[in-house]
Chain A
């Protein structure tokens, strides 16, 4: 049992320590800002996984919710003088509410139909952002979004401070997803994903479960967006567009669907890869495509999922010797 506890401490502690030391060790503003972008995206990818991995529905409006979260914070802080710390919960709550309303209609469908329905929603969100110029700045986007407001002596103007702020929210997100999935609620999610008929037969309201999953998913997307806008200082309609959703989906599938480290591993790895090699950035999909094909064929559970299998195999091999 002691070694089990140590193993758990190591699997959490080592990556966390690495993440904490990262900006101090690399001391390269470009790489740190790539990491920040990867973390905020990973937060949204966790949201995508709540829906796809744990209740089994693919929402293609996901980047739209990310955009709504970002725009809400951007508009409230840059044009209405709200503190970031007030704007953030408002953005998450507003997007959750919107997710709930969209879910009421979208969740009358399932699977392919749900994906197509939410794809249409995703397209509509971008159109609204682009056309509602007086509010969103249209295709030009919104500029001059201030960095997060200081809390007492804690100021978030420096890059490293923003890095740690985003890291804290990422850790919080992972904790929330972990605690949900290891709970009575999470088991309900998995039961619905596994067999909606069986879940209903044992008294689970499948409709409400999907609805809850969709709202949590939208809330996490909004949280990612709400952290992204003040970090970048500006936001444009692209971040809420459907191609962003497909990027997130690729990160998730490469990392590992329904695996706790999956969204983080996939996002950091692929974003790091494409952003660090600036040469290939234009050809992102040309690089991602083959990687995705290889992963889907050879590691259908994603890199994180495969890592778990490999680790178990190595442990077994070690014991036999």
Chain B
């Protein structure tokens, strides 16, 4: 169970009362590629992530990981199958060192229980060491190894974004869902983060799907772009094609020009 996986949704729908946040979406997120999900605020992008990652059971449609039907599985089971995600606000624990945050991502690969903890069993020591080592490797990969012992509260927003990715990578995902990975950081930092995300796909062979508003980043990074508007998918294709799609310009970029 390693290597990139394809994520596929068929006829996916998610309604809250009368509101169709996601409406009949069909999308293939190809293995090992970077797919971007764009659309105006409220288009249903985060809801789409929440459904795919198992936080909401969809009201209609199906989710497939490779060819396995994973519709409606809870998030911790999705994570075990290899679907990891980050959040718009990173959700890291500010009161703990970076290391302690990232090491939590190894929990699904460890089996130590209460008794191992109390009796400091050999298994516990081994798993603790392995988890620490692996967490350090992930911090190294995202370029935050130096911050391992620093409290999350005292690192920069950009560093938090990187640490959140390290945490997700620590679970050894096959698919990584990134919810606005570059929100709240400056253009220079955004470039660095773009490189990091690209290397997650290229070097680590992880399927990446991101929601992002920064168009330059999306166009630079993505192999494939899907556009949501009012919960419906209105276009998908390579970045160059999306950039010139009149419907997309009207729905999304156009709206931005007006503002």
Contacts and interface: CB of A to CB of B under 8 A. Distances in A.
Q: Do A and B bind each other?
A: yes
B128 A184 contact: yes
B168 A179 contact: no
B76 interface: yes
Contacts of B168: 201-202
Contacts of A216: 114
A256 to B, nearest CB: 13
Interface stretch (B16-24, B84-92, B193-201, B229-237): B84-92
Interface in A162-176: 175-176
B127 A184 contact: yes
Contacts, number: 96
Contacts of A212: 114
Contacts of B108: 202-204
B87 A184 contact: no
Interface string B71-94: 000111001100011110001110
Given A184-B107, A202-B108, A179 B117 contact: yes
B124 interface: yes
B124 A203 contact: no
Interface residues of A, number: 26
Contacts of A175: 118
B110 interface: yes
A105 interface: no
B110 A184 contact: yes
A185 B114 CA distance: 7
A183 B110 CA distance: 11
B122 to A, nearest CB: 14
A295 to B, nearest CB: 19
A202 B170 contact: yes
A92 to B, nearest CB: 14
Contacts of B120: 179
B91 A205 contact: no
A26 to B, nearest CB: 33
Contacts of B118: 175-176, 179-180
Given A204-B76, A204-B104, A205-B76, A183 B117 contact: yes
Interface in A47-93: none
Nearest to B74: A200
A143 interface: no
B190 interface: no
A187 B97 CA distance: 12
Interface stretch (A109-117, A145-153, A191-199): A191-199
Q: Is the interface of A mostly helix, strand, loop or mixed?
A: helix
Q: Is the interface of B mostly helix, strand, loop or mixed?
A: helix
A266 B184 CA distance: 42
A306 interface: no
B173 to A, nearest CB: 9
Which of A175, A183, A190, A198 counts the most chain B CB atoms within 10 A?
A198
Interface string B92-113: 1100100010011111101011
Nearest to B108: A203
B213 to A, nearest CB: 21
A198 B87 contact: yes
Contacts of A191: 93, 104, 107
Nearest to A191: B104
Contact of B76 (A183, A185, A190, A203): A203
Contact of A183 (B74, B84, B116, B167): B116
Contacts of A180: 114, 117-118
A195 B93 contact: yes
Contacts of A197: 55, 75, 87, 91
A206 interface: yes
Contacts of A187: 100, 103-104, 107
Nearest to A202: B105
B159 interface: no
A234 interface: no
Contacts of B92: 194, 198
A206 B104 CA distance: 13
B167 to A, nearest CB: 6
B53 interface: yes
Given A184-B124, A197-B91, A202 B104 contact: yes
Nearest to A206: B76
Nearest to B102: A202
Contacts of B171: 202-203
B131 interface: yes
Contacts of A198: 87, 91-92, 167
A257 B91 CA distance: 21
Nearest to A187: B104
A139 interface: no
10 shortest interchain CB distances as A-B pairs: A203-B108, A183-B117, A203-B79, A194-B93, A200-B75, A198-B91, A195-B91, A191-B104, A202-B105, A205-B76
17 contacts: A179-B120, A183-B116, A184-B116, A184-B131, A185-B116, A185-B117, A187-B100, A187-B103, A197-B91, A198-B92, A200-B76, A201-B75, A202-B107, A202-B167, A203-B76, A203-B79, A203-B108
